[in-house]
Amino acid sequence: TYGATRAKETLDDIDGRIAAAPPLPGLHHFTEGQGFSQWTGDDSKVLMKVYINAIEGYIPEEMVHAFHAFLEFCYIARHDIITDDTLKDLEDALECFHEHHEIFITMNVWSIFTLPQQHAMKHYPELIHLFCAPNGLCSSITESKHIQAVKRPHRHSSKFNALKQNLLTNQWIDKLAASLVNFTTQGMLKEPSTLSHLQYFGKLMFPSDGLPFINVYDRKPPHDS
């Protein structure tokens, strides 16, 4: 363990190592290390490509092995094609992770490993046998939709029993998007004044977004049943 001053020096040195990573193809160049005000899933993915070398020497070797095995598992699971040999490598990486991750408990970093994502890892080999390769499936796909379908409608709700309000808002958005496509197809939005009125209507509904409704909620119209 380190004191506050020593810990800050260590983190600064790790940031320096990350920033010093050469800008090779496939590697993101973090000019300021890991000092982000807000992280995204993509930031985490590209950081992990250089993180192992950055932390080596500052944490116990067992932890480095655990990180390496975990990342190896993640990269293998994202393969487009997974063969029997690939699946064996996946199982080996998982076994290695479980072998080395006990160091986090031994060093009192964490008391127990119960995160759903880590628990799900042991089911990957069986599920890949049943349903084939995940082919890059990632929770960030649904997270991007979460902002559009949940966060923004909730922001403009009364915050009391907001679920019904959010669902109704999403219905309005889908109907307006469908109307926009329909009006455009029929040539009803050729006049700039007509389009500006529609954009103004969107601003009235969602003024804090600061953008026209049809741009903020870029949705495809629902298919006719």
* Measured distance CA(132)–CA(134) in Å, rounded: 7
**Which of 107 and 217 is assigned the larger pLDDT?**
107
pLDDT over 90 percentage in the chain? 8
- State how far the alpha carbon of 101 is from the alpha carbons of 70, 94, 188, in Å: 9, 10, 62
pLDDT at 201: 58
Spatial CB neighbours of 79, under 8 Å, sequence gap ≥ 6? 86, 133
8 Å CB contact between 73 and 90: yes
Give residue limits of the domains in the chain: 4-136, 145-205
pLDDT at 69: 92
Residues 47-78: tens digit of each pLDDT = 788 888 888 888 888 989 998 999 899 888 88
59 strand-pairing partners: 56
- State how far the alpha carbon of 174 is from the alpha carbons of 8, 11, 163, 213, 217, in Å: 49, 47, 17, 12, 9
Mean pLDDT on 91-115: 83
pLDDT at 215: 41
Count CA within 13 A, CB hemisphere, residue 3: 2
Greatest extent of the chain over all pairs of C-alpha atoms, in Å? 70
Of the listed ranges 12-16, 110-114, 137-141, the least confidently predicted one is: 137-141
Tell me: pLDDT of 86 over 80.
Answer: yes
* Measured distance CA(137)–CA(78) in Å, rounded: 7
8 Å CB contact between 30 and 18: yes
**Confidence class for position 92, pLDDT limits 50, 70, 90:** very high
**Which of 139 and 212 is assigned the larger pLDDT?**
139
* Measured distance CA(52)–CA(132) in Å, rounded: 30
CA nearest neighbour of 106 among 62, 75, 139: 62
pTM (global) more than 0.75: no
**Which of 173 and 65 is assigned the larger pLDDT?**
65
**Confidence class for position 221, pLDDT limits 50, 70, 90:** very low
pLDDT at 91: 93
Q: 2-11, 31-40, 41-50, 69-78 — which one is most confidently predicted on average?
A: 69-78
**Which of 165 and 2 is assigned the larger pLDDT?**
165
pLDDT at 54: 84
